[in-house]
């Protein structure tokens, strides 16, 4: 009666029993919500391109990067293709074509657009010619010089092309309203053959062509479904005859085994050739599918007109169930799934279209089912917690209870494994072997054997029993590691000789509770433990795999071996798939649809196809090993190099100048199975000391010094960093020209020359300054000497004496002038230059003194037009004094001195030349010193003119 709630649940559940892949939706982003996604294209580097009504997008699994044309032409992308010359072709609704270059869309024209009809496809033939298909104008091919057209006139049934394919032999296949056409080029001339309904095609409207890999083609039609066409034999096969698929828009094929069919208005179909089974994918009931795509990891992508972009991992299917807590799972040979719960036993028929829902069994018994096993007779063995063992035949409903009364030692059976007519039980009181015959349900005799601690078993508390391919029986114990019963002998592992880290004699305590056991193709035994990860036993040694080796979660509850020989590790974060040889791990979790779950120890089962079933809360997960050669690493792509944020054509540009030293590298680690999990490691060799680990998809280097560098980047999806391929980009930052040898060779002598010249010049200047200083001092000294000359004083005083009595007033004036004269000498002595006015005052004082002494014998006249400007102190005074000193001054020969402007910017002192016969002793310093000082101060020189009659000295005015 306690099953009643379940029966109700079951009836509710039947509607959703179907196996469903988990489709993850990819969102173009807020700004492009109204864009319709029309196509996707995975280029040979595995980068994913999407064509939408609003532009081209590049996708790395996380972000869509838009590339939008800025001109007025259409952004509605209809075709994307990357050719062998690494050109990315993009075709648009309005007939325009672009190439993607330096991260930009660059219009491609041969002087004109092909046409103004949509470009719907590109392809490349064997000779490297790029073919372009249009909707409305036939096809074109480009031989790198010009475009050649093939249209209705050349024999194409229609100019509206739906699909174009170039097969591995280089033949171009075209689908139109008029059937399937084949184009071969013979001497550059197209030879067309068209296959139509008359040749057996189910419909003339051919919208999809997909190569089968063996020369045959899958052809998808508007109304006639799909057919498999053999171009050599010209025959058609109809493996899906009688199925109304709908309007077939696109086809995708995995490994020649798994055909996916996208329709307009009828969703997605999947046809498994291995099983000969067609199923409608429930996720896309009536969707208009615009494109299908298989990626390099084996994921299927579905693009729909209304909802967008979806992808699913084909290895996983999910079944919704009413069971919250499944304790045991078994997939039998009849393709039934048996489910053991605390409530009892249930079964569900798999792979059937007419769902009957879950069926309850042995409802009258108390079946707290913890393990299930099927024997060779099709009997189901049910191990319970506390109530012993049941054997049940589903076809007849007959059952038999084997309890302690029948010879069992313990009624708690935690695990079972059987072979032929033997079954082994792991109980809480050791191991039990039961030998039985076909008559077991008719009261046949049972042979029961028991093994426990007394027989040498590590402990009596057993979690797991497993019979390997050599018929050895392995027991996982609660605290004493693993035991094996081989040829009648029990052995316990680990012994002192195994696993001892410290060389001591104590067994390694890491291996104590063993929850799960499986065997790989080489016969190695794999164990999972309660907290210490996984051990591999090769018959003599254990190898330990834990977090460091990439195990994602140590709460491992189950191990299984799939059809490919991979070890499936079940834990609350999902499933890890381990390749035994390389130890490479792939994680599957939320991204493939596995929500966090808490699986029970026996809720894992491998079916007869090698599929692994795991029960989670209200869901069964089916993992089918794909017999396909799939990519197991993220593909690392360097997708942009920017110098000062400006993208460069990095395929070609590998040399930069010294000031192009700010580089940003953008890369992607493409792992569509779980894009968020990808981590990166990069290094700039010759710069970084070590690898840098990062989640960023960009590395920035600024102020790189000149040198040769290699940027290396790699990505991982499982943190193992084992054998992931590395992408490298080598480049050079050139030295600036001033560090180039040729420049140095030229510039070095020049620098020396310059230095020498400078040095020399400086010496000269210093000398000049010194000289100037010396001259100044000397001229001051000379002036002082001259003025304090006793002769001058004596004469002055004599003059004064004669005046004092005659004209005391004049005498006072005389003394005033004398003292003025000396005061000015004192005042101007230290100055470099003085104004002409000041100098004239001085000269007037001096002249007064001279006039009083010589009377009319000395005449001075000052006629200066311009008194602005400057002059070296005492210049005029020295010149006047010189005239007085060297010339006769007498009544008959008066001395006439004239100060006037004779040349522009000069002051000229002129006197009549009547040299004394006996020259006063002179240092000849006065005039010479003046000349030198003017030379140093300015460019203009002192002019001296002597014509025997007149002596003229002109000194420059300094402004």
Partner 1 sequence: MIKICLSLLGVLFGWVAIGQAQNSYSTQNGAVSFRSEAPLELIKASSKKLQGILDISQNTFAFRLEPASFEGFNGALQKEHFNENFLETSRYRFASFSGKIIENIDWKQPGTQVVRAKGKLSLHGVEQERIIKCIVEIADGKIKVGSNFTILLEEHAILVPRVVRQKIASEINVEIEAILQKQAQ
Q: Summarize as ranges the residues that interact with partner 1 (CB under 8 A).
A: 136, 159-160, 177-178, 204-205, 222
CA–CA separation, 809 vs 803, rounded Å?
9
Packing angle of the helix pair 925-937, 741-787 (nearest 10 deg): 140
Nearer to partner 1 among residue 224 and residue 430 (C-beta) = 224
885: phi then psi, degrees, rounded to nearest 5: -70, -40
3-state secondary structure of 152: helix
Nearer to partner 1 among residue 136 and residue 407 (C-beta) = 136
| Whether the Cβ atoms of residue 814 and residue 849 lie closer than 8 Å to each other | yes
Q: How many Cβ atoms are within 10 Å of 435's Cβ, its own excluded?
A: 13
Min separation Cβ 177 and partner 1, Å: 5
Burial 831-864 (b: 16+ CB within 10 A, else e): eebbebebbbebbbbbbbbbbbbbeebbbbeeee
Min separation Cβ 262 and partner 1, Å: 17
CA–CA separation, 465 vs 34, rounded Å?
58
Q: Which residues contact 424 (CB under 8 A, 6 or more apart)?
A: 416, 417, 418, 431, 432, 433, 434, 465, 467, 473
Nearer to partner 1 among residue 159 and residue 718 (C-beta) = 159
CA–CA separation, 202 vs 207, rounded Å?
12
Nearer to partner 1 among residue 204 and residue 717 (C-beta) = 204
| Whether the Cβ atoms of residue 453 and residue 459 lie closer than 8 Å to each other | yes
Nearer to partner 1 among residue 159 and residue 460 (C-beta) = 159
Min separation Cβ 135 and partner 1, Å: 8
880: phi then psi, degrees, rounded to nearest 5: -65, -45
Nearer to partner 1 among residue 204 and residue 607 (C-beta) = 204
CA–CA separation, 286 vs 266, rounded Å?
4
Q: Which residues pair with 175 in a beta bridge?
A: 163, 180
| Whether the Cβ atoms of residue 473 and residue 467 lie closer than 8 Å to each other | yes
Min separation Cβ 640 and partner 1, Å: 37
Nearer to partner 1 among residue 223 and residue 696 (C-beta) = 223
Nearer to partner 1 among residue 222 and residue 951 (C-beta) = 222
Sheet holding 277-280, edge to edge: 247-254, 258-264, 268-272, 277-280
Min separation Cβ 682 and partner 1, Å: 47
Nearer to partner 1 among residue 151 and residue 215 (C-beta) = 151
Radius of gyration of the chain (CA): 54
Q: How far is CA 388 from CA 293, 401, 770, in A?
A: 52, 8, 122
Min separation Cβ 198 and partner 1, Å: 11
Min separation Cβ 367 and partner 1, Å: 47
Min separation Cβ 78 and partner 1, Å: 13
Packing angle of the helix pair 808-828, 790-806 (nearest 10 deg): 150
Nearer to partner 1 among residue 175 and residue 481 (C-beta) = 175
Min separation Cβ 254 and partner 1, Å: 30
Q: Kindly tell me the burial class for residue 738, based on how many C-beta atoms sit within 10 Å of its own C-beta (0-12, 13-18, 19 or more).
A: exposed
Nearer to partner 1 among residue 205 and residue 880 (C-beta) = 205
Min separation Cβ 160 and partner 1, Å: 8
**How are the residues of the chain apportioned to helix, strand and coil, as percentages rounded to the nearest 5?**
20, 40, 40
Min separation Cβ 269 and partner 1, Å: 20
CA–CA separation, 694 vs 369, rounded Å?
48
What separation, in Å, do the N-terminal and C-terminal C-alpha atoms of the chain show? Answer: 127
Min separation Cβ 20 and partner 1, Å: 26
Packing angle of the helix pair 790-806, 836-854 (nearest 10 deg): 70
Nearer to partner 1 among residue 39 and residue 105 (C-beta) = 39
Report which of 542, 534, 568, 551 is spatially closest to residue 720, judged by C-alpha positions: 551
CA–CA separation, 58 vs 308, rounded Å?
15
Nearer to partner 1 among residue 120 and residue 408 (C-beta) = 120
Q: Which one-letter DSSP state was computed for residue 441? A: G
Report which of 190, 254, 243, 192 is spatially closest to residue 218, judged by C-alpha positions: 254
Nearer to partner 1 among residue 162 and residue 711 (C-beta) = 162
Min separation Cβ 219 and partner 1, Å: 16
Nearer to partner 1 among residue 305 and residue 789 (C-beta) = 305
DSSP string, 865-885: S---SEE-TTHHHHHHHHHHH
Find how far residue 796's CA is from the centre of its chain. 101
Min separation Cβ 54 and partner 1, Å: 16
Min separation Cβ 120 and partner 1, Å: 12
Min separation Cβ 278 and partner 1, Å: 25
Reading phi first (left if > 0) and then psi (alpha if -120 to 50, else beta), residue 276 is in left
Min separation Cβ 266 and partner 1, Å: 14
Q: How far is CA 391 from CA 359, 423, 437, 757, in A?
A: 17, 11, 12, 113
Count CA atoms within 13 Å of residue 679 on its CB side: 10
Nearer to partner 1 among residue 160 and residue 519 (C-beta) = 160
Nearer to partner 1 among residue 36 and residue 419 (C-beta) = 36
């Amino acid at each position: 009666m306690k099953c009643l709630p379940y029966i109700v649940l079951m009836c509710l559940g039947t509607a959703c029993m179907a196996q469903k892949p988990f489709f993850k939706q990819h969102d173009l982003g807020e700004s492009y919500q109204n864009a319709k996604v029309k196509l996707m294209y995975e280029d040979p580097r595995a980068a994913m391109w999407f064509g939408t009504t609003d532009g081209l997008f590049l996708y790395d699994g996380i972000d869509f990067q838009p590339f939008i044309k800025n001109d007025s032409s259409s952004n509605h992308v209809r075709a994307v293709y990357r050719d062998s010359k690494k050109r990315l072709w993009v075709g648009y609704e309005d007939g325009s074509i672009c190439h993607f270059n330096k991260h930009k869309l660059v219009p491609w024209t041969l002087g004109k657009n092909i046409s103004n009809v949509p470009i719907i496809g590109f392809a490349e033939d064997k000779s490297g010619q790029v073919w372009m298909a249009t909707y409305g104008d036939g096809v074109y091919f480009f031989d790198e010089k010009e475009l050649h057209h093939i249209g209705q006139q050349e024999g194409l049934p229609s100019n509206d092309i739906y699909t174009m394919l170039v097969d591995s032999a280089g033949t171009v296949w075209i689908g139109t309203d008029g059937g399937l056409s084949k184009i071969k080029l013979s001497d550059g001339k197209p030879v067309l053959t068209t296959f139509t309904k008359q040749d057996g095609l189910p419909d003339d409207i051919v919208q999809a062509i997909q190569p089968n890999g063996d020369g045959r083609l899958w052809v998808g039609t508007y109304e006639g479904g799909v057919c498999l066409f053999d171009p050599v034999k010209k025959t058609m096969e109809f493996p899906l005859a009688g199925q109304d698929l709908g309007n077939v828009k696109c086809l995708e094929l995995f490994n020649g085994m798994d055909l996916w069919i996208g329709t307009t208005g009828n969703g997605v179909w999947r046809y498994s050739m291995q099983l000969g089974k067609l199923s409608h994918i429930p996720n896309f009931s009536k969707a208009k599918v615009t494109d299908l795509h298989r990626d390099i990891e084996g994921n299927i992508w579905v693009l729909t007109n209304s909802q967008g972009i979806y992808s699913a991992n084909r290895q996983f299917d999910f079944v919704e169930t009413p069971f919250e807590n499944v304790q045991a799972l078994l997939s039998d040979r009849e393709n039934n799934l048996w489910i053991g719960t605390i409530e009892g036993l249930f079964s569900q028929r798999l792979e059937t279209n007419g769902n009957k829902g879950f069926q309850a069994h042995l409802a009258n018994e108390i079946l707290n089912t913890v393990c299930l096993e099927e024997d060779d007779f099709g009997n189901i063995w049910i191990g319970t917690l506390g109530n012993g063992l049941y054997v049940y035949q589903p076809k007849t409903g007959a059952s038999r209870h084997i309890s302690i009364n029948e010879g069992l030692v313990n009624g708690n059976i935690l695990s079972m494994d059987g072979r032929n007519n033997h079954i082994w039980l792991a109980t809480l009181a050791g191991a039990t072997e039961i030998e039985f015959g076909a008559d077991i349900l008719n009261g046949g005799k049972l042979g029961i054997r028991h093994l426990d601690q007394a027989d040498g078993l590590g402990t009596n508390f057993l979690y797991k029993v497993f019979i390997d391919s050599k018929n050895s029986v392995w027991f996982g114990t609660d605290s004493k590691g693993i035991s094996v019963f081989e040829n009648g002998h029990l052995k316990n592992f680990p012994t002192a000789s195994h696993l001892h880290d410290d060389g001591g004699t104590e067994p390694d305590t890491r291996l104590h509770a063993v929850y799960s056991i499986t065997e790989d193709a080489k016969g190695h035994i794999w164990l999972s433990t309660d907290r210490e990860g996984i051990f591999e036993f090769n018959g003599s040694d254990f190898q330990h795999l834990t977090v460091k080796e990439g195990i994602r979660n140590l709460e491992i509850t189950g191990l299984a071996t799939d059809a490919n020989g991979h070890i499936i590790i079940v834990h609350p974060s999902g499933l890890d798939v381990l390749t035994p040889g390389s130890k490479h791990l792939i994680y599957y979790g939320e991204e493939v649809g596995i929500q966090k779950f808490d699986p029970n120890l026996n809720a894992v089962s491998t079916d007869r196809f090698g599929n692994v079933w795991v029960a989670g809360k209200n869901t069964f997960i089916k993992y089918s090993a794909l017999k396909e050669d799939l990519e197991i690493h993220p593909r690392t792509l360097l997708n942009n190099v920017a110098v000062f944020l400006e993208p460069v054509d990095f395929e070609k540009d590998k040399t930069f100048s010294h000031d192009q030293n700010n580089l940003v590298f953008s890369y992607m680690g493409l792992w569509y199975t779980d894009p968020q999990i990808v981590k990166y490691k990069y290094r700039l060799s010759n710069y970084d000391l070590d690898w840098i680990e990062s989640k960023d998809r960009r590395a920035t280097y600024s102020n790189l010094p000149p040198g040769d560098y290699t940027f290396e980047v790699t990505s991982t999806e499982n943190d193992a960093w084992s054998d992931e391929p590395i992408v490298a980009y080598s480049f050079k930052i050139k030295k600036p020209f001033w560090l180039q040898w040729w420049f140095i060779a030229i510039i070095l002598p020049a620098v020396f020359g310059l230095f020498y010249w400078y040095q020399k010049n400086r010496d000269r200047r210093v000398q000049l300054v010194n000289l100037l200083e010396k001259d100044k001092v000397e001229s001051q000294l000379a002036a002082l000497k001259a003025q304090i000359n006793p002769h001058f004083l004596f004469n002055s005083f004599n003059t004064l004496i004669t005046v004092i009595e005659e004209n005391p007033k004049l005498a006072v004036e005389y003394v005033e002038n004398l003292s003025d004269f000396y005061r000015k000498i004192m005042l101007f002595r230290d100055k470099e230059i003085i104004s002409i006015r000041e100098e004239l005052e001085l000269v007037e004082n001096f002249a007064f003194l001279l006039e009083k002494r010589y009377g009319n014998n000395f005449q001075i006249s000052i006629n200066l037009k311009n008194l602005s400007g400057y002059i070296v102190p005492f210049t005029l005074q020295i010149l006047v004094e010189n005239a007085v000193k060297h010339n006769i001054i007498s009544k008959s020969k008066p001395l006439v001195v004239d100060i006037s402007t004779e040349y522009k910017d000069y002051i000229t002192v002129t006197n009549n030349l009547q040299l004394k016969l006996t020259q006063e002793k002179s240092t000849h310093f006065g005039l010479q010193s003046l000349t030198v000082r003017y030379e140093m101060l300015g460019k203009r020189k002192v002019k001296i003119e002597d014509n025997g009659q007149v002596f003229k000295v002109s000194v420059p005015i300094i402004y």
